[in-house]
């Protein structure tokens, strides 16, 4: 998860930002706005010039941090409010446009889309000596390493779509003095970077996915279902098995289209279920 998160931040240019803020005491304020919002981690200390000293502050004891708004509130009476001669120094890092938890949501969606309907098959012998086959659905834990960049590309595409949705509400500004601000250019640039089936980030993902035959657009082999002419019912279909697989057959239930043509009159049919009709 951490590796794919770094890939996404590299793709969309959303890096963590370090900051260093200094506040001088004046016996007035105990709450200070940091220069960054979305703070992920901070260290704070109070220094004095006479006598020269520096005291490291403890979170929830000496101060309370509002990480979303980027605000630090001193709660220790020794520093609240910050006195004359005291200096508050706050050093930390701030997340980019998206928090790690937000990117994890995009990654989970990308994994489900990329690995939809796929599983890893392993062969083993059970305690009774019979050969069995285990089908484990593909998740982020067992995803092949060659497919990790593809998941990062797909998640980055969804992140860019979120940014494009935000930029879609911007409008161009034109004033009577002749000033023109093309705010919609941000939306056009985002859409150009996302691309389509053959260009941009979407085209790069599609090309690699086709070469590996993975993703929602992969080539699949299916089994056509047959309808019995005597009962007009679908003949059951089972998963193909290896010749030495001694496990019980597994039934397949492919989707059936055409429910929009169902008879809603509720008139009973003169047919006997299981025999004909």
CB contact at 8 A, 126 and 75: no
Q: How far apart are CA 94 and CA 70, in angstroms?
A: 9
Question: For the CA atoms of 77, 82, 86, 88, what is the dihedral angle to 10 degrees?
Answer: 100
Q: Backbone phi, then psi, for 56, in 5-degree steps?
A: -75, 130
9 near 96, Cβ under 8 Å? Answer: yes
Kindly state whether residues 152 and 207 are assigned to the same domain: yes
Distance CA 258, CA 145 (A): 40
Residue 108: inside a domain: yes
Predicted local distance difference test score (pLDDT) of residue 88: 94
Among 59, 75, 94, the domain-final residue is 94
State the residue range of the domain holding 70: 17-94
Q: Is residue 60 part of a domain?
A: yes
Q: Is the peptide bond before 235 cis (omega within 30 degrees of 0)?
A: no
Of 49, 41, 51, which is closest to residue 16 (Cα–Cα)? 41
Q: Note whether residue 228 is domain-resident.
A: no
User: Where is the domain boundary, 64, 94, 124?
Assistant: 94
pLDDT at residue 259, rounded to an integer? 63
Going from the first residue of the chain to its last (277 residues), give the mean pLDDT of each consecutive group of 10, the final group possibly shorter.
Answer: 90 89 91 90 89 90 91 90 91 87 93 91 86 87 92 95 91 86 91 92 94 91 84 87 85 74 76 53
Same domain, 117 and 61: no
List helix spans (H) across the chain.
2-12, 100-114, 148-167, 185-194, 200-212
111, containing H or E segment: helix 100-114
105 shares its domain with 90: no
Residue 114, helix vs strand vs coil? helix
Angle CA 261–267–269, to nearest 5? 85
Length of the chain: 277
**Whole-angstrom distance, CA of residue 23 vs CA of residue 13:** 30
Where is 251: in which H helix or E strand? strand 251-252
208 in the same domain as 104: yes
**Shared-domain flag, residues 145 and 168:** yes
pTM for this structure?
A: 0.71
Q: Quick check: is 253 in a domain?
A: no
Do residues 104 and 71 share a domain?
no
Q: How many domains does the chain have?
A: 2
68: DSSP letter: T
3-class secondary structure, 43: strand
Q: What pLDDT is attached to residue 277?
A: 46
* Cβ–Cβ < 8 Å for 89, 47: yes
Query: Given 178, 212, 246, which residue is the final one in a domain?
Result: 212
Q: Which residues contact 54 (CB under 8 A, 6 or more apart)?
A: 45, 46, 47, 48
Alpha carbons 125 and 10: distance in angstroms, whole number: 45
């Amino acid at each position: 998860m951490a590796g794919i998160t770094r890939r996404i931040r590299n793709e969309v240019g959303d890096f963590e930002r370090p900051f260093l803020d200094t506040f001088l005491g004046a016996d007035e304020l105990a709450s200070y706005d940091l220069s960054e919002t979305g703070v992920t981690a901070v260290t704070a200390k109070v220094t004095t010039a006479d006598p020269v000293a520096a005291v490291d502050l403890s979170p929830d004891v000496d101060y309370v941090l509002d990480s979303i708004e980027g605000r630090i509130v001193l709660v220790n009476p020794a520093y609240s409010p910050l006195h004359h001669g005291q200096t508050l120094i706050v050093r930390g890092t701030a997340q980019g446009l998206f928090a790690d938890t937000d990117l994890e949501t995009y990654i989970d969606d990308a994994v489900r889309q990329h690995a939809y309907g796929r599983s890893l098959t392993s062969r083993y012998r059970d305690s009774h000596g019979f050969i069995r086959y285990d089908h484990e659905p593909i998740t982020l834990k067992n995803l092949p390493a060659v497919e990790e960049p593809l998941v990062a590309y797909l998640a980055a595409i969804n992140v860019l779509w979120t940014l494009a949705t935000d930029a879609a509400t911007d409008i161009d500004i034109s004033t009577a003095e002749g000033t023109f601000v093309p705010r919609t250019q941000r939306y056009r640039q985002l859409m150009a970077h996302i691309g389509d089936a053959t260009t941009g980030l979407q085209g790069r993902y599609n090309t690699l996915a086709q070469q590996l035959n993975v993703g929602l657009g992969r080539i699949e082999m299916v089994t056509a279902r047959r309808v019995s002419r005597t009962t007009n019912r679908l003949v059951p279909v089972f998963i193909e098995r290896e010749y030495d697989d001694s496990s019980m057959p597994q039934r397949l239930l492919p989707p059936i289209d055409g429910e929009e043509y169902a008879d809603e009159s509720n008139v009973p049919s003169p047919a006997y279920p299981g025999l004909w009709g």
